[in-house]
Amino acid sequence: MPQNYKITHSTLDMLEPQTLEAWKIWNQTKNHGFLFHTPEYILNTNQTRQKDVHLFFVWDNGLLVGLALFLILPIPLKCQLGEVPLLEFNFRRVYLLGESPHLPDELSVYDSIFQTLLSLRDQFELIYLEAVRLNSFFWQYIQTRHLIRSRFLLYTPFGEMQHPLIQFPATYEEYLKKFSVKSRYNLTRELKKFQAAGEVELIEVTTLEQAKNFAELATQISHKTYQYNLLGLGIRNQTEFQARLCFLAQYGWLRSYLLKFNGIACSFLIGYQDAENYYYMDVGYDPEYSKYGVGKMLLLLALQRMFLSNPPKYFDFGMSGGGHKDFFANFSYQDITVFLFSKRPYPLLGYWIYKSLFTLTDVIKWVLERLAIKNTVKRIIRRLSRLTKIFKRF
């Protein structure tokens, strides 16, 4: 029989002190101190948009038992062909903060929350749900509930994906057993070859004093990457980035890494750590050092350091696998990223164009793979992105 929960709704700027205190206690005692649901983190990262953060609290006889956080943010829907942007729609999105809601598995709870979101429907075109676990009540609710399917068009462009993690064993030696004998040999050989080529220095960044220099060097590297020059990703604002790092350092959550080769910063890993988990947020490397595999070497050296001091329970690579993530992971679960387009003319136009270009990209990839030239074309596009940056200077 369903329980009679009470659901309250507030924006961050209108949050009552007693609710804030209950939230702090609940997150620490019942939610394992999960960083992305920590009140201090939410307040700091949304200082200028508190009225756009919607908080839903679930109470049982006066005790807080669940939480869901949403942020309404103007983020364009970028329609692109492969890695080449073609056009964008000025969408306002509802983001679910913290990947999943921590709620009782009750239809009435979810219905109440989504009915409130629907009352705000004129404020957004799209609900974006990142990395929803396939075995969760939430995913079943989204797929089957008439309340959702009647008002939104559900689209999952990337399909089911593996969410890779490292479940830390007691020792680094035990972790290495996940690799085959050949892979362990190759890892050791690659690292020795890299160290023999020049002076290698790994810097762990955890303090306020380190944050400023790290922000400057990581930004310089990020601006050399194709992700920055072609996809509009990477570190866009050094001042904001540095402020974020300093805040994280103040609370003991900052744990990032910088790799130097012959005294020159060549690769970085931005990461945070809470009571249980390490979060792999972003990486970048200078393309001039790609022949040394500096991204892979940085990750290997960072893992060695973690096993020596304050190892997390899990190293979370975030949504989607591939490349180094799959290689180093020893555990995974399935998740899916969900777009819920509001069934109104403008959002639906964006959906059809976005989906058409996404489908066309898949067809082109298939053709290029059949012709065995996919990697060549990808390299050309990424080199052109670097040339575009050079020409912009003149």
Dig out the tokens for 256 from the structure: 């990032």
224-270 pLDDT, tens digit per residue, is 887 777 667 788 899 999 999 999 999 999 999 999 999 999 999 99
Which residue's entry shows tokens 């993530």?
Answer: 325
305-328 pLDDT, tens digit per residue, is 999 999 999 999 987 767 889 999
326-353 pLDDT, tens digit per residue, is 999 999 999 999 999 999 999 999 999 9
Given pLDDT bands bounded at 50, 70 and 90, which one contains residue 390? very low
Nearest C-alpha neighbor of 294 from the set 178, 200, 185, 170 = 200
pLDDT > 90 fraction of the chain, expressed in percent and rounded: 80
Asked if pLDDT for residue 38 goes beyond 80, the answer is: yes
Q: Rounded CA gap, 56 and 289, in Å?
A: 47
* Pair type for strands 314-316 and 277-285: parallel
108-127 pLDDT, tens digit per residue, is 999 999 999 999 989 999 99
Residue extent(s) of CATH 3.40.630.30 domains in the chain = 6-161+336-356, 169-312
Given pLDDT bands bounded at 50, 70 and 90, which one contains residue 386? low
* Predicted local distance difference test score (pLDDT) of residue 262: 96
Asked if pLDDT for residue 132 goes beyond 70, the answer is: yes
Asked if pLDDT for residue 385 goes beyond 80, the answer is: no
Asked if pLDDT for residue 393 goes beyond 60, the answer is: no
Q: Where are the beta strands (DSSP E) in 75-149?
A: 77-81, 84-89, 92-96, 126-133
CATH number of 6-161+336-356: 3.40.630.30
AA identity, residue 332:
S
* Predicted local distance difference test score (pLDDT) of residue 227: 77
Between 239 and 1, name the one with better pLDDT: 239
Between 142 and 392, name the one with better pLDDT: 142
DSSP one-letter code for 254: B
Q: Rounded CA gap, 178 and 253, in Å?
A: 28
Asked if pLDDT for residue 211 goes beyond 60, the answer is: yes
* Pair type for strands 84-89 and 53-60: unpaired
Given pLDDT bands bounded at 50, 70 and 90, which one contains residue 381? low
Dig out the tokens for 383 from the structure: 């080199």
Between 349 and 393, name the one with better pLDDT: 349
| HEC profile of 199-216 | CEEEEEECCHHHHHHHHH
* Predicted local distance difference test score (pLDDT) of residue 383: 65
Nearest C-alpha neighbor of 187 from the set 269, 351, 70, 303 = 303
Assign domain 169-312 to its CATH architecture.
3-Layer(aba) Sandwich (3.40)
